[in-house]
C-alpha cells in the first residue's frame, strides 16, 4: 500500500478545521509554558528540623549499615496535634444539576487531552535525522504511525504541553530514543548479525513534514500531529538551543557524580511508646 501524499494529508487536516458553515476555525498553535533548557529549578526551602532535647532521650543505640551509622533513639512521648475534624458531608444533588455543573465547567475549562507517543530517532552521518512515531489517540481508536523529518529529540524534552491548531489543549507523554545506524550496524556485525535498517521514506527538505504509514487516520487525529510540526518549524531555533542546554546539563551532572559520588548519610530514627491504661474491671475492652 502506498503512502498518501502530503497534499492529501493537508487537505484532510484542513477539512477537519471547518465548522458546519464552512468557516475555518483554525487557530495558531502555541507552546504552553517555557521550553526546558537544562536550567536547574530553584532549591527547595529547607525543611524545619525537629530538635530533641537531651533530657528527652531515654535510650540510644547505633549500628553500622551500608557505610553509614543508623542511630535509634527512644524518646519521651510527644504530644501530637489532634487530627482535623471530618469534613462536612456534601449535600447530594440531582443528576441533572450535576450534569449542568459539569457542562458549565467544560465551557470554562477546555479539555486537556493527553498525547501518548513513542518516538525513535534514526541518525546517520549521510542523512538528516528521521523519526518513526507511534501515537495512541485517546478513546481506544487504535495506533497512528508516521515517519517525520522532525527531530523528535527536540520535541520530547522541549514541549510538555501546547495548544493545537483547533484551539484544543494537549499534554505530551512520550517515550523516545536514538538509533545510530552506523554504530548499531557495526555492533551487530561484530556479533555476526545483520542490522536491517527500516525503510525510511524520502521526505522533502525544508520545513519538517510527516508521512502516515498505512491508511490515514480520522481527521481529528491528524490535528495534534500537524500542530506539533507547526510548532517544531516555528520554534526550531529555540528548541535546538534548549536541547543543547539540556544535554550539557546532563553531561555536567554525570561528570559531577563521577567526580563526587554520593556518600551514604547517617540517619537518626526517633520513637516512643505509649501505654494505654488498663480498662476498669468489668468494662468493655
Answer whether 210's CB lies under 8 Å from 149's CB.
yes
40-53 pLDDT, tens digit each:
888 889 888 888 89
Radius of gyration over every alpha carbon of the chain, rounded to an integer in angstroms = 29
For residue 92, the model assigns a pLDDT of: 67
Could you report the per-residue pLDDT of 85-121, keeping only the tens digit for each? Answer: 888 776 666 667 777 777 776 666 556 788 999 999 9
Residue 221 near residue 113 (C-beta atoms within 8 A): no
User: Is residue 76 scored above 60 in pLDDT?
Assistant: yes
Per DSSP, the chain holds a count of helices (H) and strands (E) of 6, 10
Residue of 214, 48, 21 whose CA lies nearest to 134: 214
φ, ψ for residue 269 (rounded to 5)?
-110, 125
Q: What confidence tens digit (pLDDT) does each residue in 236-256 have?
A: 999 999 999 999 999 999 999
Residue 138, pLDDT > 50, answer: yes
Residue 266 confidence (pLDDT): 93
Which of residues 25 and 52 earns the better pLDDT score? 52
Backbone angles phi, psi at 151, to 5 degrees: -85, 100
Are 71 and 208 spatial neighbours (Cβ–Cβ below 8 Å)?
no
pTM for the full predicted model: 0.69
Task: Name the grid cell of 149.
Answer: 523529518
Using DSSP's 3-state secondary structure scheme, residue 55 falls into helix
Per residue in 156-175, pLDDT (tens digit) is 989 999 988 778 898 999 99
Q: What's the grid cell of residue 283?
A: 468494662
Amino acid at each position: 500500500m502506498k503512502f498518501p501524499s502530503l497534499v492529501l494529508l493537508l487537505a484532510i487536516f484542513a477539512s477537519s478545521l471547518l465548522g458546519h458553515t464552512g468557516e475555518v476555525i483554525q487557530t495558531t498553535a502555541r507552546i504552553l509554558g517555557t521550553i526546558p533548557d537544562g536550567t536547574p529549578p530553584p532549591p527547595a526551602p529547607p525543611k524545619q528540623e525537629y530538635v530533641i532535647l537531651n533530657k528527652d532521650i531515654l535510650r540510644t543505640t547505633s549500628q553500622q549499615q551500608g557505610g553509614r551509622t543508623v542511630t535509634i533513639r527512644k524518646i519521651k512521648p510527644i504530644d501530637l496535634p489532634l487530627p482535623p475534624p471530618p469534613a462536612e458531608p456534601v449535600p447530594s444533588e440531582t443528576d441533572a444539576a450535576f450534569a449542568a455543573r459539569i457542562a458549565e465547567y467544560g465551557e470554562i475549562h477546555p479539555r486537556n487531552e493527553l498525547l501518548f507517543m513513542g518516538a525513535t530517532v534514526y541518525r546517520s552521518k549521510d542523512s538528516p535525522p528521521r523519526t518513526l512515531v507511534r501515537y495512541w489517540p485517546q478513546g481506544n481508536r487504535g495506533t497512528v504511525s508516521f515517519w517525520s523529518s522532525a527531530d523528535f529529540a527536540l520535541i520530547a524534552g522541549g514541549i510538555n504541553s501546547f495548544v493545537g491548531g483547533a484551539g484544543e489543549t494537549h499534554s505530551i507523554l512520550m517515550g523516545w530514543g536514538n538509533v545510530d545506524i552506523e554504530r548499531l550496524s557495526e555492533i551487530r556485525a561484530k556479533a555476526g548479525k545483520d542490522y536491517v535498517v527500516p525503510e525510511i521514506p524520502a521526505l522533502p527538505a525544508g520545513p519538517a513534514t510527516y508521512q502516515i504509514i498505512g491508511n490515514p487516520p480520522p481527521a481529528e487525529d491528524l490535528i495534534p500531529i500537524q500542530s506539533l510540526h507547526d510548532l517544531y518549524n516555528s520554534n526550531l531555533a529555540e528548541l535546538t538551543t534548549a536541547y543543547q542546554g539540556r544535554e550539557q546539563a546532563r553531561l555536567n551532572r554525570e561528570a559531577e557524580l563521577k567526580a563526587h559520588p554520593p556518600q551514604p548519610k547517617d540517619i537518626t530514627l526517633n520513637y516512643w511508646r505509649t501505654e494505654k491504661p488498663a480498662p476498669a474491671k468489668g468494662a468493655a475492652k
